[in-house]
Protein backbone atom coordinates (compact mmCIF):
# COMPACT_ATOMS: atom_id res chain seq x y z
CA UNK A 1 0.00 0.00 0.00
CA UNK A 2 1.29 3.43 -0.92
CA UNK A 3 1.28 6.18 1.70
CA UNK A 4 1.38 8.88 -0.96
CA UNK A 5 -1.19 10.28 -3.35
CA UNK A 6 -0.30 10.50 -7.07
CA UNK A 7 0.61 14.07 -7.95
CA UNK A 8 -2.02 14.35 -10.68
CA UNK A 9 -4.80 13.22 -8.32
CA UNK A 10 -3.53 15.51 -5.58
CA UNK A 11 -3.58 18.44 -7.98
CA UNK A 12 -7.13 17.53 -9.06
CA UNK A 13 -8.35 17.36 -5.46
CA UNK A 14 -6.72 20.66 -4.50
CA UNK A 15 -8.12 22.38 -7.58
CA UNK A 16 -11.59 20.98 -6.90
CA UNK A 17 -11.53 22.17 -3.30
CA UNK A 18 -10.46 25.65 -4.42
CA UNK A 19 -13.11 25.90 -7.15
CA UNK A 20 -15.94 24.50 -5.04
CA UNK A 21 -16.50 21.55 -7.37
CA UNK A 22 -15.36 19.20 -4.59
CA UNK A 23 -17.03 19.50 -1.18
CA UNK A 24 -14.99 18.46 1.89
CA UNK A 25 -16.87 16.11 4.22
CA UNK A 26 -15.18 15.89 7.62
CA UNK A 27 -15.31 12.90 9.96
CA UNK A 28 -13.71 12.17 13.36
CA UNK A 29 -10.27 11.52 11.88
CA UNK A 30 -10.05 15.21 10.94
CA UNK A 31 -9.59 15.93 14.67
CA UNK A 32 -6.82 13.38 15.19
CA UNK A 33 -4.17 15.99 16.00
CA UNK A 34 -6.27 18.19 18.29
CA UNK A 35 -5.33 17.98 21.98
CA UNK A 36 -6.11 19.73 25.24
CA UNK A 37 -3.74 22.65 25.82
CA UNK A 38 -3.13 21.70 29.47
CA UNK A 39 -3.47 17.92 29.73
CA UNK A 40 -2.36 16.99 26.21
CA UNK A 41 -5.24 14.53 25.91
CA UNK A 42 -6.79 14.13 22.45
CA UNK A 43 -10.20 15.62 21.85
CA UNK A 44 -12.96 12.97 21.96
CA UNK A 45 -14.08 12.54 18.37
CA UNK A 46 -14.76 8.96 17.32
CA UNK A 47 -17.45 6.74 18.81
CA UNK A 48 -15.24 4.91 21.30
CA UNK A 49 -13.53 8.00 22.69
CA UNK A 50 -16.86 9.81 23.05
CA UNK A 51 -18.36 6.93 25.03
CA UNK A 52 -15.37 6.79 27.36
CA UNK A 53 -15.41 10.57 27.88
CA UNK A 54 -19.16 10.53 28.58
CA UNK A 55 -18.69 7.74 31.16
CA UNK A 56 -15.78 9.31 33.07
CA UNK A 57 -13.17 7.26 31.24
CA UNK A 58 -14.76 3.92 32.06
CA UNK A 59 -16.00 1.44 29.43
CA UNK A 60 -19.72 0.75 29.32
CA UNK A 61 -21.35 -2.62 28.68
CA UNK A 62 -20.14 -4.26 25.43
CA UNK A 63 -23.50 -3.78 23.70
CA UNK A 64 -23.31 -0.04 24.50
CA UNK A 65 -19.69 0.31 23.43
CA UNK A 66 -20.72 -0.70 19.92
CA UNK A 67 -21.70 2.84 18.92
CA UNK A 68 -21.98 6.26 20.57
CA UNK A 69 -25.68 6.81 19.69
CA UNK A 70 -26.53 3.58 21.50
CA UNK A 71 -24.55 4.59 24.59
CA UNK A 72 -26.06 8.08 24.49
CA UNK A 73 -29.54 6.58 24.31
CA UNK A 74 -28.82 4.53 27.43
CA UNK A 75 -27.67 7.63 29.32
CA UNK A 76 -30.67 9.59 28.06
CA UNK A 77 -33.12 6.94 29.26
CA UNK A 78 -31.52 6.71 32.69
CA UNK A 79 -30.60 10.35 33.35
CA UNK A 80 -32.32 12.47 30.72
CA UNK A 81 -31.49 14.00 27.35
CA UNK A 82 -30.11 17.10 29.02
CA UNK A 83 -27.24 15.10 30.51
CA UNK A 84 -26.02 14.06 27.05
CA UNK A 85 -26.38 17.59 25.69
CA UNK A 86 -24.52 19.02 28.69
CA UNK A 87 -21.67 16.54 28.18
CA UNK A 88 -21.31 17.49 24.51
CA UNK A 89 -21.55 21.22 25.24
CA UNK A 90 -18.98 21.03 28.03
CA UNK A 91 -16.66 18.95 25.85
CA UNK A 92 -16.75 21.10 22.74
CA UNK A 93 -17.70 24.62 23.82
CA UNK A 94 -14.18 25.37 24.93
CA UNK A 95 -11.13 27.24 23.71
CA UNK A 96 -8.87 24.84 25.60
CA UNK A 97 -8.25 22.67 22.54
CA UNK A 98 -5.29 23.28 20.25
CA UNK A 99 -5.94 24.73 16.84
CA UNK A 100 -6.23 22.11 14.13
CA UNK A 101 -3.67 22.48 11.35
CA UNK A 102 -5.95 20.35 9.20
CA UNK A 103 -8.86 22.79 9.52
CA UNK A 104 -6.54 25.74 8.93
CA UNK A 105 -5.23 24.06 5.77
CA UNK A 106 -8.74 23.38 4.54
CA UNK A 107 -9.91 26.92 5.26
CA UNK A 108 -7.04 28.13 3.08
CA UNK A 109 -8.94 26.89 0.02
CA UNK A 110 -11.81 29.29 0.82
CA UNK A 111 -14.42 26.54 0.25
CA UNK A 112 -17.99 27.62 -0.43
CA UNK A 113 -19.50 24.50 1.19
CA UNK A 114 -18.14 22.35 4.01
CA UNK A 115 -19.87 19.39 5.65
CA UNK A 116 -18.63 18.51 9.13
CA UNK A 117 -20.25 15.61 11.00
CA UNK A 118 -18.17 16.28 14.11
CA UNK A 119 -19.66 18.36 16.93
CA UNK A 120 -16.65 20.58 17.61
CA UNK A 121 -16.10 24.26 16.75
CA UNK A 122 -12.74 24.06 14.94
CA UNK A 123 -14.03 25.16 11.55
CA UNK A 124 -16.29 27.78 13.08
CA UNK A 125 -13.17 29.24 14.67
CA UNK A 126 -11.44 29.27 11.29
CA UNK A 127 -14.37 31.26 9.91
CA UNK A 128 -14.73 33.53 12.97
CA UNK A 129 -14.02 36.58 10.81
CA UNK A 130 -15.67 35.30 7.63
CA UNK A 131 -19.33 35.93 6.78
CA UNK A 132 -20.99 32.54 6.26
CA UNK A 133 -24.09 30.45 6.81
CA UNK A 134 -24.20 27.80 9.53
CA UNK A 135 -26.71 24.96 9.14
CA UNK A 136 -27.15 22.97 12.36
CA UNK A 137 -29.00 19.66 12.57
CA UNK A 138 -31.74 19.28 15.19
CA UNK A 139 -34.02 16.42 16.19
CA UNK A 140 -37.25 15.86 18.09
CA UNK A 141 -38.08 19.57 18.17
CA UNK A 142 -41.70 20.64 18.42
CA UNK A 143 -43.08 23.59 16.53
CA UNK A 144 -41.15 23.13 13.29
CA UNK A 145 -41.36 20.84 10.29
CA UNK A 146 -37.63 21.24 9.64
CA UNK A 147 -34.70 19.45 11.25
CA UNK A 148 -32.20 22.27 11.09
CA UNK A 149 -31.52 25.77 12.35
CA UNK A 150 -30.07 28.47 10.10
CA UNK A 151 -27.60 31.06 11.31
CA UNK A 152 -25.93 33.83 9.35
CA UNK A 153 -22.54 35.15 10.46
CA UNK A 154 -21.68 38.75 9.56
CA UNK A 155 -17.97 38.41 10.26
CA UNK A 156 -18.44 39.12 13.97
CA UNK A 157 -21.41 37.19 15.30
CA UNK A 158 -24.24 34.80 14.41
CA UNK A 159 -27.91 35.66 14.03
CA UNK A 160 -30.63 33.10 13.43
CA UNK A 161 -32.34 33.55 10.06
CA UNK A 162 -35.11 31.94 8.04
CA UNK A 163 -35.07 30.26 4.65
CA UNK A 164 -36.65 33.42 3.28
CA UNK A 165 -34.10 35.86 4.71
CA UNK A 166 -30.84 33.89 4.42
CA UNK A 167 -28.18 35.20 2.05
CA UNK A 168 -27.66 32.03 0.03
CA UNK A 169 -24.63 33.45 -1.78
CA UNK A 170 -22.46 33.06 1.33
CA UNK A 171 -20.24 30.05 2.00
CA UNK A 172 -21.93 27.31 4.03
CA UNK A 173 -20.81 25.22 6.98
CA UNK A 174 -23.20 22.29 7.46
CA UNK A 175 -23.02 20.68 10.92
CA UNK A 176 -25.65 17.92 10.72
CA UNK A 177 -24.72 16.37 14.09
CA UNK A 178 -24.73 19.72 15.84
CA UNK A 179 -22.45 22.23 17.55
CA UNK A 180 -22.43 24.10 20.86
CA UNK A 181 -22.24 27.52 19.18
CA UNK A 182 -24.07 29.81 18.88
CA UNK A 183 -26.68 27.65 20.65
CA UNK A 184 -26.13 24.02 21.67
CA UNK A 185 -28.03 21.55 19.49
CA UNK A 186 -26.92 17.97 18.95
CA UNK A 187 -27.87 14.76 17.21
CA UNK A 188 -26.53 12.17 19.66
CA UNK A 189 -28.82 9.35 20.80
CA UNK A 190 -30.46 6.60 18.75
CA UNK A 191 -33.76 8.47 19.03
CA UNK A 192 -32.15 11.63 17.66
CA UNK A 193 -30.70 9.75 14.70
CA UNK A 194 -33.97 7.96 13.90
CA UNK A 195 -35.83 11.25 13.79
CA UNK A 196 -33.11 13.13 11.91
CA UNK A 197 -32.47 10.44 9.29
CA UNK A 198 -36.20 9.93 8.71
CA UNK A 199 -36.63 13.64 8.00
CA UNK A 200 -33.38 13.72 6.02
CA UNK A 201 -34.80 11.05 3.71
CA UNK A 202 -38.00 13.08 3.46
CA UNK A 203 -36.10 16.23 2.53
CA UNK A 204 -36.74 18.22 5.72
CA UNK A 205 -33.20 18.22 7.13
CA UNK A 206 -31.54 20.31 4.41
CA UNK A 207 -32.52 23.89 3.49
CA UNK A 208 -33.89 24.44 -0.04
CA UNK A 209 -31.00 26.70 -1.11
CA UNK A 210 -28.50 24.02 -0.09
CA UNK A 211 -30.38 21.34 -2.03
CA UNK A 212 -29.93 23.52 -5.11
CA UNK A 213 -26.26 24.21 -4.38
CA UNK A 214 -25.31 20.54 -3.96
CA UNK A 215 -26.51 19.40 -7.40
CA UNK A 216 -23.61 17.94 -9.37
CA UNK A 217 -21.06 18.33 -6.57
CA UNK A 218 -18.32 15.83 -5.83
CA UNK A 219 -17.15 15.02 -2.33
CA UNK A 220 -13.92 14.34 -0.53
CA UNK A 221 -14.38 12.32 2.67
CA UNK A 222 -11.70 13.23 5.17
CA UNK A 223 -11.33 11.30 8.41
CA UNK A 224 -14.59 9.42 7.89
CA UNK A 225 -14.82 5.65 8.28
CA UNK A 226 -17.66 3.97 6.41
CA UNK A 227 -18.15 0.76 8.40
CA UNK A 228 -21.33 1.75 10.24
CA UNK A 229 -24.83 1.99 8.82
CA UNK A 230 -25.60 5.20 10.75
CA UNK A 231 -22.79 7.17 9.11
CA UNK A 232 -23.62 5.63 5.73
CA UNK A 233 -27.29 6.61 5.86
CA UNK A 234 -26.53 10.19 6.87
CA UNK A 235 -23.85 10.53 4.21
CA UNK A 236 -25.90 8.96 1.41
CA UNK A 237 -28.75 11.41 1.85
CA UNK A 238 -26.56 14.47 2.37
CA UNK A 239 -24.72 13.91 -0.93
CA UNK A 240 -27.90 13.17 -2.90
CA UNK A 241 -27.84 14.66 -6.44
CA UNK A 242 -24.05 14.39 -6.56
CA UNK A 243 -21.93 14.06 -9.68
CA UNK A 244 -20.87 10.76 -11.19
CA UNK A 245 -17.53 9.18 -12.14
CA UNK A 246 -16.39 9.22 -9.36
CA UNK A 247 -19.02 10.81 -7.17
CA UNK A 248 -16.50 11.11 -4.37
CA UNK A 249 -13.14 10.18 -2.96
CA UNK A 250 -12.52 8.81 0.53
CA UNK A 251 -9.09 9.10 2.14
CA UNK A 252 -8.86 5.87 4.18
CA UNK A 253 -5.46 4.55 5.08
CA UNK A 254 -6.47 0.94 5.72
CA UNK A 255 -9.97 0.33 4.35
CA UNK A 256 -11.85 -2.76 5.44
CA UNK A 257 -13.51 -5.17 3.04
CA UNK A 258 -16.86 -3.76 4.11
CA UNK A 259 -15.75 -0.23 3.26
CA UNK A 260 -14.40 -1.36 -0.10
CA UNK A 261 -17.73 -2.98 -1.04
CA UNK A 262 -19.76 0.02 0.08
CA UNK A 263 -17.56 2.53 -1.74
CA UNK A 264 -17.62 0.47 -4.93
CA UNK A 265 -21.42 0.41 -4.80
CA UNK A 266 -21.61 4.17 -4.17
CA UNK A 267 -19.07 5.17 -6.81
CA UNK A 268 -16.59 6.38 -4.20
CA UNK A 269 -12.90 6.02 -5.05
CA UNK A 270 -10.80 5.06 -2.03
CA UNK A 271 -7.46 6.79 -1.61
CA UNK A 272 -5.38 4.47 0.54
CA UNK A 273 -3.29 7.01 2.38
CA UNK A 274 -3.33 8.96 5.65
CA UNK A 275 -4.64 12.52 5.76
CA UNK A 276 -1.06 13.71 6.09
CA UNK A 277 -0.46 12.61 2.49
CA UNK A 278 -3.12 15.10 1.41
CA UNK A 279 -1.77 17.94 3.52
CA UNK A 280 1.93 17.30 3.37
CA UNK A 281 3.94 19.31 5.88
CA UNK A 282 0.95 21.40 6.94
CA UNK A 283 -0.09 18.77 9.46
CA UNK A 284 3.24 18.89 11.25
CA UNK A 285 2.41 22.19 12.92
CA UNK A 286 -0.60 20.73 14.72
CA distance 76 to 94: 23
Q: Is the pLDDT of residue 274 over 60?
A: yes
CA distance 254 to 251: 9
Helix (H) or strand (E) holding 137: strand 132-137
CA distance 176 to 77: 23
CB 81 within 8 A of CB 43: no
Name the band, by pLDDT with cuts 50, 70 and 90, for residue 2: low
Name the band, by pLDDT with cuts 50, 70 and 90, for residue 239: very high
In DSSP notation, 230-259 reads: HHHHHHHHHTTT--SSSSEEEE-SS--HHH
Coil, strand, or helix at residue 42? strand
98-117 mean pLDDT: 97
Q: In Å, what is the CA distance from 248 to each residue of 75, 202, 225, 281? A: 36, 23, 14, 24
- Average pLDDT of the residues of the chain: 94
pLDDT value for 280: 62
pLDDT digits (tens, 9 = 90+) for 20-50: 999 999 999 999 999 999 999 999 999 999 9
Amino acid sequence: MSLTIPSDLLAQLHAGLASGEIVPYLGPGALAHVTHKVTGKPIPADSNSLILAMNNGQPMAPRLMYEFPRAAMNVELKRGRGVVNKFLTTTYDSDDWTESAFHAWLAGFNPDYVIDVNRDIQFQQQWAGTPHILVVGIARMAGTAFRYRLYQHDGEKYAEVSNESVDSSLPVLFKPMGTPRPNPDFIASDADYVDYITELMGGFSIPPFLKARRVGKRYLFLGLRLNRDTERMVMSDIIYDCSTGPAAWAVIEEPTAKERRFCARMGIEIIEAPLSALLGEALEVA
